[in-house]
Amino acid sequence: MRVTRLLRPRPLAVAGVAALSVLAVVGLPASASTPGADIRVTNDNGANGGYVSNYNLNNPRSPVAKDPTLAECSRSRGRQNEPSVALDPRNPNVIVGSSNDYCGVYNDSADADGAPIASGPIWLGYYRSVNSGASFQSSLVPGYPGDNTPYASRAKIRTASSGDPVLAWDAQGRLFAGSESSADANGTPKGFGDVYVASYVNPGGPSAATVNDGKEFARSVIVAKGSSAPTTGKFNDKTAIEADRTSSACSGNVYFAYSRFTGNGGVAIYLSRSTDHGATFSAPMKVSAGVHDVQFPDISVTSNGHVYITYRQFEAQGQQIDAVDVVKSVDCGRSFASPRALTTFSAMGVTDLATDGSQARDCGDAPPCQSGYTFFRADTGPRSTADQAAATEIVHVAYEAIVPGSEVPTGTTFGWADQSGAGGQSAIYYLSFNGATGVVSTPARIASAPASQQLFPDLSVDAGVVHALWWDSRNDVNNDASSFRQRPVGNDAAGNSAPALDVYAATRPAVGGSWATATRMSDVTTNPNYEQFGGRTVPFAGDYLWIDSKGGVTYGVWTDWRDTVPGVDQRETTQDETGADVLQCRTVRPDGVVTGDTCPRNGGLDQNIYGDLAP
């Protein structure tokens, strides 16, 4: 879920280079991708042409579409997080990424002190590559407030914000993008909590050149509406999507799952399916019956068309314990069997106590936490996938959990193990579930690092190889074997913050074998604790990273702060920490009030999505 607190890509490859890239991909065996130089996927930095409307991507001879949001996105050096990425199964040179994109939030005007007003949309990005991720061209999903192109009328949605992007391709060049959306387009304070799916097609049809797959925005349709009533309302969030690319009777179906939160405190997983390529979706169906407090659904489809949904089961009032659950459909998503627990675990969840005594999932300047640390939110969130071309019915699952026996007191109010004061080591675990036999493998760590916290795993599988990536703190400059279980990543004992996270990846055979030694993907260790949200008071990293594999190409994407410009928060009379404040320009007015930030485009908010080929 995006935080509402508050691509300019490198040029696409010329024909000759693109042709060489195609040859390189065709000649690659499965799992042969090798990490290279990191690529900036979100290029809202004023270079390489700025953001382009999807209408102009498909109609280059038409007048260039211009609006305040596209103009702002071409210069903003703004924030992007919660990335997703998907490789075209018909042509792995074609890669599309997305994220929560805040590039347009300062698209309107400034206040009396000259500080730009954050009144523009938070929206879904659309970042397209046709050279296996060597460069990306940046755009937004059509339908954002102020979109004046002919494609805006194809967006049948009712909200002024959009986030939580999830992506999936079908077997005929169509791309589907799922989203959560909330803010009222009429400017009222209420939030809707809708979920919708946008569809992209090859403008020449399924038989046209695959380089144009998923290029033209066709539509977006609401799958489920939320409401803002305090006790009877509902809010839909935590989305997942998959398309059936098999030759089964379910071929072409699109499945969309999400968590529904209701005003009475209930949470459940719902699923809708489309049998007409995303034009319509079925009435939402509850699939987590009998399980309380669930989130983080993910969808897998096996070669026989069976559908599996995994999700996180939370410990709840003594009625259940932390677990990864699964439900299965053998009739193309029309119905699902009762939930089954695949494994239980000791939950990873960073937490603290605010100075007012309330529970805090993240900490910064406002409200400060009793520990004095600064950190972003993170919880156990399982991810799953299946190889739709494999003869087996195996679902591959990854999740983060506290390593048994690693628990230690932190000595402060901060905690790693989902409770204040409880420290421990977070590691990425893997298991496989054979849906045909019901056999579940023993969960095991993907990569052991003696002084490392591991977060936000994702995995994909293709041609008999499982690919995984995650954030890893083994290069944390402020923590070592004596402290990493007791403090947030990047924090020293005084709460000062520094670079702490890298992306690591590993592979294993889909059947048998073991994980290869983990490979560092990111070239730069990044500082995730910059206070860029809530008016420059708290960090936010999103809820996930992403990896995908098709046809011998594997690509991963992550949130990154290497371009963030550090600074000093002029509102702080005493500096309680270093390394978390970002560049901002404020002055004290004669009445003693500190102005808003007059230079939000100068790099203090430059949070980006980076990507690279993965092993």
For residue 232, give both structure tokens: 């009877």
- Whole-number pLDDT of residue 264: 74
pLDDT beyond 60 at 16? no
Give burial (CB, 10 Å; 0-12/13-18/19+) of 590: exposed
The pLDDT tens digits of the residues spanning 47-75 come to 877 899 999 999 999 999 999 999 999 99
pLDDT range class, residue 13, cuts 50, 70, 90: very low
- 22-36, 207-221, 275-289, 320-334 — which is least confidently predicted? 22-36
| Backbone phi and psi for residue 242, each to the nearest 5 degrees, phi listed first | -155, 150
For residue 39, give both structure tokens: 């690529």
The answer to whether residue 414 is domain-embedded is yes
What are the b/e assignments for 495-516, b being 16+ CB within 10 Å?
A: bbbbbbbbbbbbbbebeeeebb
What's the rounded Cα separation, in Å, for the pair 454 and 545? 12
| Backbone phi and psi for residue 579, each to the nearest 5 degrees, phi listed first | 90, 0
The answer to whether residue 422 is domain-embedded is yes
- 307-321, 461-475, 601-615 — which is least confidently predicted? 307-321
- Terminal-to-terminal C-alpha distance of the chain: 28
The answer to whether residue 227 is domain-embedded is no
The answer to whether residue 8 is domain-embedded is no
- E-strand ranges in 510-564 read 519-520, 546-550, 553-560
The answer to whether residue 59 is domain-embedded is no
- Whole-number pLDDT of residue 345: 98
For the question of whether the overall pTM of this predicted structure is more than 0.85, the answer is yes
pLDDT range class, residue 230, cuts 50, 70, 90: low
pLDDT range class, residue 229, cuts 50, 70, 90: low
The answer to whether residue 421 is domain-embedded is yes
Residue range(s) defining the domain that contains residue 431 = 348-379+393-477+484-510
Strands 502-509 and 465-472: what pairing? Answer: antiparallel
pLDDT beyond 60 at 6? no
Strands 285-286 and 294-301: what pairing? Answer: unpaired
The answer to whether residue 471 is domain-embedded is yes
The answer to whether residue 420 is domain-embedded is yes
Residue 15 or residue 163, greater confidence: 163
Helix (H, G, I), strand (E, B) or coil at 22: helix
Comparing CA positions, the residue from 508, 391, 509 lying closest to residue 446 is: 508
Comparing CA positions, the residue from 235, 240, 298 lying closest to residue 267 is: 235
Residue 50 or residue 507, greater confidence: 507
pLDDT range class, residue 252, cuts 50, 70, 90: very high
Q: How many residues does the chain have?
A: 615
The pLDDT tens digits of the residues spanning 353-382 come to 999 999 999 999 987 999 999 999 999 999
For residue 111, give both structure tokens: 């206040």
Contacts within 8 Å (CB) and 24+ apart, 416-419: 416/348, 416/349, 416/350, 416/453, 416/485, 417/346, 417/347, 417/348, 417/349, 418/347, 418/348, 418/349, 418/351, 418/379, 419/351
How many domains does one find in the chain? 1
pLDDT beyond 80 at 482? yes
- E-strand ranges in 163-313 read 163-169, 175-183, 191-201, 216-224, 234-243, 254-262, 267-274, 285-286, 294-301, 307-313
Comparing CA positions, the residue from 201, 311, 327, 321 lying closest to residue 259 is: 311
